[in-house]
Structure 1
Amino acid sequence: MRPSRRLLALALMLVATTTLVAPAAAASADPPSTVYVNSGVTCDDSGSGTEDLPFCNLQPAADQAVAGQTIVVAPSPAEYGSVTISRSGTPGAPITFTSIGKQKPVLLGAVSLAGVHDVTFSGIQVIGLGGTAAIGVTGSTDVTIDRALLQPASGNTAASGVTIDGDSSGVTVSKSEIQGFQGPIVRVDPGALHVTVTTNVLQAHGSGGVAIHGAVDAAVTGNAFTAGCGGYITIDGGASATVENNVSNVTTGTGCPSPTVGLSVDADSAAGVHADYNAYRTLAPAVEDDWGGTTYPTAAAFQTATGQGAHDLDLSTAAGSIPPENSPLLDSADANAPGELSTDFNGNPRADDPLVADTGIGTPAADRGPYERQDLIGPVVAMTPVEGLAPLATTFKVTSSGTSPWNEPVSYTVDFGDGGGSMPVASGDVLSHTYRTPGVYTETTTAADTGGTRSTATQTVTVGTVAPPKVTMALGAETFTNPALGQTEILPGYAGGTVTVSEPWEVSSAVIDWGDGATSDLATDTATISISHGYSVVGSYPVTLTVTDRLGRVSTASGTATAGDAFSRTVDDPKRVYDSRSGGGVDKVPAGGVVKLSLDQLNAGFGEADGALVNVTVTNAKSSGFIAVYPDGTPTPTTSNVDYAAGQTVANHALALAGGDGIVDFYNHSTGPVDLIVDTYGFQTHGEVGDTYQPAGPVRVLDTRSGLGAPAGAVASKDTVTFQVAGTNGVPADAAEVVMNLTATDTKSAGFLTAYAHGTTRPGISNADWTTGQTACSLVVIPLTDGKVTLYNSGPGTADFLADLVGYYNQYGDASVFLPSAPQRLLDTRSGLGSNGQIAKLQPGQTITLPVASHVNAPAAGVSAVEINLTTTNESSPGYITAYPHGAARPTTSSVDFAGGQTVANMAIVPVGANGSIDLYNGGGATVDLLVDLYGGYYQYPSN
Structure 2
Amino acid sequence: MAPPHTPARRAVLALSTLVAGLGLAVSSVGAAAGAAAYLYVGGGGCSDTGAGTAAVPFCTIAKAAKVAVAGQTVLVSSGTYTDEVFPWHSGTAGSPIIFQPAAGAVVTIAGAKHGFTISNQSWITVSGFTVRDTTSNAFYVFNATGVRLSNNTARGSGSPVAGATAYGMYLNSMTGSVVTGNLVTDNSASGIYLTNGSTGNQITGNESSWNAYGYVRNAVGIDLRAPGNLVSGNRVHDNEDSGIQSYPGGDRNTIVDNVSYHNKGFTTAALTNCSAPPTGNTAGCITGDHGIDDFGVTGSSVVGNTVYDNVAAGINLEGVASGTPSGFTFADNISVDNAASCPNGAGGTVKCPRTRGDIRVDATSQLGTRLDYDLVNLSVSGTMMVWGSTSYTSLAAFQAASGQESHARQADPRWNGPAQADFSLRAGSPAIDSADSSAPGQPALDAAGRPRVDDPSTPNSGIGVRSYDDRGAFEYQPPTTRGATS
If the TM-score is normalised by the length of the shorter chain, which range does it land in?
0.5 to 0.7
Q: Which residue of 1 aligns with 2:477?
A: 374
Check whether the contact 2:437–2:462 (CA below 8 A) recurs between aligned residues: yes
Post-superposition offset of 1:113: 0.5
The 5 Å alignment of 1:169-184 reads 169-184=227-242
Q: Which residue of 2 aligns with 1:248?
A: 335
Q: Is residue 85 from structure 1 mapped to residue 141 from structure 2 by the alignment?
A: yes
The 5 Å alignment of 1:9-20 reads 18=48
Among 137, 160, 164, the alignment partner of 2:220 is 160
Q: Which residue of 2 aligns with 1:307?
A: 403
Check whether the contact 2:372–2:406 (CA below 8 A) recurs between aligned residues: yes
Label 1:29 to 1:192 Cα distance change in 2 as closer, same or farther (>3 A): closer
Q: Is residue 114 from structure 1 mapped to residue 172 from structure 2 by the alignment?
A: yes
Q: Is residue 208 from structure 1 mapped to residue 283 from structure 2 by the alignment?
A: no
- Equivalent AA in structure 2 for residue 202 of structure 1: S
- Secondary structure of 2:176 counterpart: strand
Post-superposition offset of 1:340: 1.3
Q: Which residue of 1 aligns with 2:374?
A: 278
Tell me how far apart the structure 2 counterparts of residues 330 and 135 of structure 1 sit (CA, whole Å). Answer: 32
Q: Which residue of 2 aligns with 1:532?
A: none
Q: Which residue of 2 aligns with 1:63?
A: 118
The 5 Å alignment of 1:287-306 reads 287-306=383-402
1:51-87 Cα offsets, whole Å, 9 max, x none, are 54998549565427954443212458x6676121114
Check whether the contact 1:37–1:71 (CA below 8 A) recurs between aligned residues: no
Post-superposition offset of 1:152: 2.1
Tell me how far apart the structure 2 counterparts of residues 136 and 17 of structure 1 sit (CA, whole Å). Answer: 36
Label 1:33 to 1:222 Cα distance change in 2 as closer, same or farther (>3 A): farther
- Secondary structure of 2:400 counterpart: helix
Label 1:372 to 1:35 Cα distance change in 2 as closer, same or farther (>3 A): farther
Q: Is residue 339 from structure 1 mapped to residue 423 from structure 2 by the alignment?
A: no
Post-superposition offset of 1:195: 1.1
The 5 Å alignment of 1:414-493 reads 447=483, 453-455=484-486
Post-superposition offset of 1:172: 2.2
The 5 Å alignment of 1:528-567 reads none
Tell me how far apart the structure 2 counterparts of residues 73 and 362 of structure 1 sit (CA, whole Å). Answer: 39
Post-superposition offset of 1:138: 0.9
Tell me how far apart the structure 1 counterparts of residues 330 and 76 of structure 2 sit (CA, whole Å). Answer: 38
Q: Which has the higher contact order (CA 8 A, sep 6+)?
A: 2
Post-superposition offset of 1:275: 0.7
1:286-322 Cα offsets, whole Å, 9 max, x none, are 3221001111222222221111001110114654622
Q: Is residue 137 from structure 1 mapped to residue 194 from structure 2 by the alignment?
A: yes
Tell me how far apart the structure 2 counterparts of residues 338 and 224 of structure 1 sit (CA, whole Å). Answer: 17
Post-superposition offset of 1:43: 9.5
Check whether the contact 2:109–2:129 (CA below 8 A) recurs between aligned residues: no
Post-superposition offset of 1:274: 0.6
The 5 Å alignment of 1:529-608 reads none
Label 1:128 to 1:41 Cα distance change in 2 as closer, same or farther (>3 A): closer
RMSD: 3.4
- Secondary structure of 1:348 counterpart: coil
- Equivalent AA in structure 1 for residue 206 of structure 2: A
- Secondary structure of 2:463 counterpart: coil
The 5 Å alignment of 1:766-845 reads none
Q: Is residue 329 from structure 1 mapped to residue 385 from structure 2 by the alignment?
A: no
- Secondary structure of 1:303 counterpart: helix
Structure 1 unaligned segments of length 5 or more: list them.
1-15, 378-403, 406-446, 448-452, 456-944
Q: Is residue 188 from structure 1 mapped to residue 246 from structure 2 by the alignment?
A: yes
The 5 Å alignment of 1:624-773 reads none
Label 1:354 to 1:126 Cα distance change in 2 as closer, same or farther (>3 A): same
1:658-716 Cα offsets, whole Å, 9 max, x none, are xxxxxxxxxxxxxxxxxxxxxxxxxxxxxxxxxxxxxxxxxxxxxxxxxxxxxxxxxxx
Label 1:322 to 1:152 Cα distance change in 2 as closer, same or farther (>3 A): closer
Label 1:260 to 1:193 Cα distance change in 2 as closer, same or farther (>3 A): closer
Q: Which residue of 2 aligns with 1:431?
A: none
Tell me how far apart the structure 2 counterparts of residues 234 and 298 of structure 1 sit (CA, whole Å). Answer: 17
Among 457, 460, 465, the alignment partner of 1:355 is 457
Tell me how far apart the structure 2 counterparts of residues 220 and 284 of structure 1 sit (CA, whole Å). Answer: 25
- Equivalent AA in structure 2 for residue 108 of structure 1: G
Check whether the contact 2:435–2:471 (CA below 8 A) recurs between aligned residues: yes
Label 1:50 to 1:346 Cα distance change in 2 as closer, same or farther (>3 A): closer
Provide TM-score, normalisation by structure 2.
0.64
Tell me how far apart the structure 2 counterparts of residues 301 and 347 of structure 1 sit (CA, whole Å). Answer: 36
- Equivalent AA in structure 1 for residue 144 of structure 2: S
Post-superposition offset of 1:265: 0.7
- Secondary structure of 1:326 counterpart: coil
1:785-808 Cα offsets, whole Å, 9 max, x none, are xxxxxxxxxxxxxxxxxxxxxxxx
Check whether the contact 1:37–1:72 (CA below 8 A) recurs between aligned residues: no
1:562-595 Cα offsets, whole Å, 9 max, x none, are xxxxxxxxxxxxxxxxxxxxxxxxxxxxxxxxxx
Post-superposition offset of 1:199: 0.8
Tell me how far apart the structure 1 counterparts of residues 241 and 369 of structure 2 sit (CA, whole Å). Answer: 23
- Equivalent AA in structure 2 for residue 248 of structure 1: S
1:109-131 Cα offsets, whole Å, 9 max, x none, are 2210011211211111112433x
Tell me how far apart the structure 2 counterparts of residues 136 and 29 of structure 1 sit (CA, whole Å). Answer: 27
1:225-245 Cα offsets, whole Å, 9 max, x none, are 111222111111224311111
- Secondary structure of 1:235 counterpart: strand
Tell me how far apart the structure 2 counterparts of residues 29 and 127 of structure 1 sit (CA, whole Å). Answer: 30
Post-superposition offset of 1:267: 1.7
Tell me how far apart the structure 2 counterparts of residues 315 and 38 of structure 1 sit (CA, whole Å). Answer: 52
Q: Is the deviation greater in 66-75 or in 47-56?
A: 47-56
Rg: which structure is higher?
A: 1
Among 288, 310, 313, the alignment partner of 1:228 is 310
1:542-568 Cα offsets, whole Å, 9 max, x none, are xxxxxxxxxxxxxxxxxxxxxxxxxxx
Tell me how far apart the structure 2 counterparts of residues 142 and 122 of structure 1 sit (CA, whole Å). Answer: 14
- Equivalent AA in structure 2 for residue 133 of structure 1: S
- Secondary structure of 1:269 counterpart: coil
- Equivalent AA in structure 2 for residue 307 of structure 1: G
Check whether the contact 1:187–1:212 (CA below 8 A) recurs between aligned residues: yes
- Secondary structure of 2:118 counterpart: helix
Q: Which residue of 1 aligns with 2:127?
A: 72
- Secondary structure of 1:286 counterpart: coil
- Equivalent AA in structure 2 for residue 159 of structure 1: A
Identity of aligned residues (%): 24
- Secondary structure of 1:270 counterpart: coil
Check whether the contact 2:86–2:117 (CA below 8 A) recurs between aligned residues: no
Task: Select the structure that is richer in strand.
Answer: 1
Label 1:184 to 1:259 Cα distance change in 2 as closer, same or farther (>3 A): closer
- Equivalent AA in structure 1 for residue 386 of structure 2: D
Q: Which residue of 2 aligns with 1:97?
A: 149
Check whether the contact 1:227–1:249 (CA below 8 A) recurs between aligned residues: yes
Among 31, 34, 37, the alignment partner of 2:70 is 31
- Secondary structure of 2:245 counterpart: strand
- Equivalent AA in structure 2 for residue 73 of structure 1: G
- Secondary structure of 2:294 counterpart: strand
Tell me how far apart the structure 2 counterparts of residues 279 and 248 of structure 1 sit (CA, whole Å). Answer: 6
Check whether the contact 1:190–1:237 (CA below 8 A) recurs between aligned residues: no
Post-superposition offset of 1:34: 5.1
Tell me how far apart the structure 2 counterparts of residues 355 and 178 of structure 1 sit (CA, whole Å). Answer: 32
Label 1:454 to 1:283 Cα distance change in 2 as closer, same or farther (>3 A): closer
Label 1:278 to 1:215 Cα distance change in 2 as closer, same or farther (>3 A): same
1:426-448 Cα offsets, whole Å, 9 max, x none, are xxxxxxxxxxxxxxxxxxxxx5x
Post-superposition offset of 1:326: 2.4
- Secondary structure of 2:398 counterpart: helix
- Equivalent AA in structure 2 for residue 289 of structure 1: M
Tell me how far apart the structure 1 counterparts of residues 72 and 176 of structure 2 sit (CA, whole Å). Answer: 16
